[in-house]
Structure 1
Amino acid sequence: MSLLLQYTLIFASVLILVALGGCFSEHSGVINLGLEGIMIMGALGGALTMRYLGENSSHFVTILAVVLVSAAVGMVYSCLLAVACINFKADQTLVGTALNLLGTAGATVIVKAINTAANPDDVSSIIQYAGAKKAFTVNIGSFEFSWFMLITALLLVASYVLLYKTRFGLRLMACGEHPQAADSVGINVYKMRWAGVLISGFLGGLGGIVFITAGVSEWRFEYGVAGFGFLSLAVMIFGQWKPQRIALAALLFGFFRALGNVYTGFAFLKVMNLPSSVYNMLPYIISLIVLAFTSKNSRAPKAEGIPYDKGQR
């Protein structure tokens, strides 16, 4: 049972971080379908940081460096979305899709080049970080607590406060609801949308490193992030673009994803003799069912996906 709780919380942490990233971006008026690509690039930055820091650095330095690098790489990569969609008014769906394809392919090429430079016979896209990963976990009895869980909880609270209790958050949401009205009272819509996309890159990149360190000590980057970027979008929609609801939705989806890791520990599930792939499919099946019944009642920001034209009224 503790193992189920452990995996539920860590997978929910990934979904919360990435869904919050999508939430900030869409509240500003930009649909970020490139979360999958942002995740893999953030994961690449964090994994390389762990690889080069190794086991010799203090745990605090390792945690701080990995978190900052993952978030920074995610932010830098999200700039591609911001430039294309905010400054050049490109189609946000197409740009997001392109970022997803480029992210996995780019990360694979970079890792293979690094591995080949270190060892000409190594053409894999794998990065190992077994030693450095220990900095993120603390054993509490049979439960393996991850510092990422605490970081996620803090960022969840910070996101709620930022969106609903600060002038910045209210201005950001105004740009996603009626950018012309926001502009008329002196709010710079372009800057607010840039801020929303950069925050989504920060949280998405951090979600990527949390995902690849969940239970494993190496990652093959050509696998991407197994659709967790799109699953996070489902969590965001099911959570109605509200941090507190996103957290509850993430726990639900995280629970079903965790079953794929621990189902052999439950006798009634083991006796069913279902392949592990069925359990791995559960969160995606559940997301289809949930969205089929709830998406018609969803209320997305009114101006999301619509490029802002300052001259339009």
Structure 2
Amino acid sequence: MNAVELHKISKTYDKGKLRAVHEVSFKVKKGELFGLIGSDGAGKTSLFRILTTVLLADSGSATVAGFDVVKDYQQIRNRVGYMPGKFSLYQDLTIKENLEFFAAIFGTTIDENYELIKDIYDQIKPFSDRRAGKLSGGMKQKLALCCALIHKPEVLLLDEPTTGVDVVSRKEFWAMLKALKEKGITILVSTPYMDEANLCERIALIQNGEIMSVDTPENIIKSFPTTLFAAKSENIYKLLNDFRSDAKVDSCYAFGEFLHITLKENGGSDIEDLKEFAAQKGHNDIFIQQITPGIEDSFIRLMQEKTQKPTH
């Protein structure tokens, strides 16, 4: 059984002038940790609002925990835990008061489902009398997760939960998600961070409101269709422009301290050809090696293919 299903969901704003999502379809299996990966403005939040029944799609259909997002909105709200990207708890209430409030909304108590949140709540319990507005980013994150879990949901929807949080808190948060998955909760999480894609069992890559690929991170990386090279020199900006002017180069983009390069045709002497071209352009300190692509490289490649695809 699938915990979440979307079939050709589309949504526009401003009387149809602004397209948020276009014919989005994917499925999340029961008990799966699934990632929706895309940059800001890709359409992730619109999809989450549709799945949590706070926004109506223009067309298409979707179900959560087997219930239709339009007809069965009340059943979905009782079975879903939702953590929006922006911290939305009551800033003037304490940690404990926020948790008690959300438990009361769902007709339960902190004690009733304490085992589910224990490992998370115990980390912030010493500060239970501190107002939520005075918490650090990591502590706000943990409190919001506790409030989303207090009614023991079947499906947990987390919209960019680690945005703006330090690296250590991000790592802790994903460890918490893995533990929750082991307890049988289905988790759909969105993130703009490509490195977090590898922490999911399957992912959907989304850009400009359209799904580009749905698969395991490993399979998406394996499907990278060509050889990838990393290059750098003292004048990296000049090197970028020079390689982009080379007729043999298919793509060249900055990636940390390196450039990542693909060629229009792969051959046995690719590295030597690149080095020779760079030397002709005055780069005497050039470093080039073949590398294994990552999720971000695959994402960029899919974006390029989509841009180059002819429209009818």
TM-score normalised by length of structure 1: 0.23
Structure with more of its chain in helix, by fraction: 1
Structure with more of its chain in strand, by fraction: 2
TM-score normalised by length of structure 2: 0.23
Higher radius of gyration, 1 or 2: 2
Higher relative contact order (CA 8 A, sep 6+): 1
